[in-house]
Amino acid sequence: MAVNKNIKINKSKLSQEYDSEIFSISEHAFDVPNDHKAIAQELKNKNPYTITVIINNLDPKFWNNKKYVEKTQVPIQSRYMELLYKYFFIEFGHREGNELYAKWLDKYTALWKKEKMKNELDDYIIKNELEPRYKERILKKYKNHEKLFKPRVEINRKRYYNLPSPLNHVDWRNPYDNIFVWQGDGKKVFRKGGGGSSGGRETNSKFIFGFSLINKTKPIKSFLFLYGSDNELYFIKEFFSLTIPRYDIGWNYYLKGKEAEKTLSETNLIEWRDFNELKEVNVVSNKD
């Protein structure tokens, strides 16, 4: 019978001390089975475990602090180029404009290749299609031509994810990071899953189903962490049976009928409501 357990989260009371061996992982595993049953069969004797890191949003007060965020300058279109495309889509609309632009891409591809792709394909469209339509209007309306053509940059802010390498790359579209770990050729390797991309969702589902099959006969440990709004890592709990977020399971890797329910029948599923600042984790415990 499933039992609900609530874990209250108070960051000031969470520990930053944990066994560093949890994160002592050598490299990303590239050669893995494409089927969850094959994953279970191949990894059942390779000491698998999982790490879940729930990710709080970065505190807004840190977004300009280089200790928490890497800031880089990224070139962007000049105001003039921006206006060319703006006028184009105002005239033709989004749908018709994209259809017309696709035809222009086809029209100029042969010339682009003939000239050995020295310029961008879009440059032919700008010169031959957009500028004849809109250049005069733009220059007439905007008198400061120096500012109009001046190169521009924007500041790109990339939040640091201070997990040990090679785990320090994260898809920030995910409110959590699932890391599946096992022993391979004398070293620990991993795959990551999440909900931010189709590949991440597929990996997430496939490994959860595969690990769930193993967990029925050989319980898999799971470690739950919080990556706080201050870019610090906090240990929440160690589970002695597979415990994983319920989110995104089945996306891009689907089990028919009741097979998914049966496969997950002894897997603990966790959920939370506070996707900005974690306050509580609910664990639906089937086996722990």
Count of residues in the chain? 288
CB atoms within 10 A of CB 178: 24
How do strand 268-271 and strand 243-245 relate by DSSP bridges? parallel
Each residue of 155-201: pLDDT tens digit? 888 999 999 999 998 888 889 999 999 998 889 999 998 877 888 88
Each residue of 88-137: pLDDT tens digit? 999 999 999 999 999 999 999 999 999 988 889 999 999 999 999 999 99
Higher pLDDT among residues 141 and 30, named by residue: 141
Burial 68-107 (b: 16+ CB within 10 A, else e): bbeeeeeeeeebbbebbbebbeeeeeeeeeeebbeebeee
Calculate the alpha carbon distances from 25 to 110, 149, 160 in Å.
49, 49, 19
Separation between Cα atoms, residue 34 and residue 20, nearest integer Å:
30
Each residue of 220-236: pLDDT tens digit? 999 999 999 999 999 99
pLDDT at 199: 82
pLDDT at 139: 96
Among 30-39, 123-132, 137-146, whose mean pLDDT is lowest?
30-39
Separation between Cα atoms, residue 48 and residue 215, nearest integer Å:
10
The residue whose two tokens read 């003939």 is 114
pLDDT confidence band for 1 (50 / 70 / 90): low
HSE-up (13 A, CA, CB side) for residue 235: 13
pTM: 0.78
- Proportion of the chain above pLDDT 70, given as a percent: 98
User: Hey, what's the torsion of the CAs at 83, 85, 89, 92, to 10 degrees?
Assistant: 110
DSSP class of 179? E
- 204: alpha, beta or left? (left if phi > 0; alpha if psi -120 to 50): alpha
CB atoms within 10 A of CB 249: 23
- Proportion of the chain above pLDDT 90, given as a percent: 72
Q: What is the mean pLDDT of residues 55-68?
A: 93
pLDDT confidence band for 287 (50 / 70 / 90): low
Which of 151, 156, 179 minimizes the C-alpha distance to 52?
Answer: 179
Which of 108, 161, 156, 163 minimizes the C-alpha distance to 130?
Answer: 108
Each residue of 21-31: pLDDT tens digit? 999 998 988 88
Contact 188, 180 (CB under 8 A): no
Separation between Cα atoms, residue 89 and residue 96, nearest integer Å:
8
pLDDT at 288: 46
Each residue of 66-95: pLDDT tens digit? 999 999 999 999 999 999 999 999 999 999
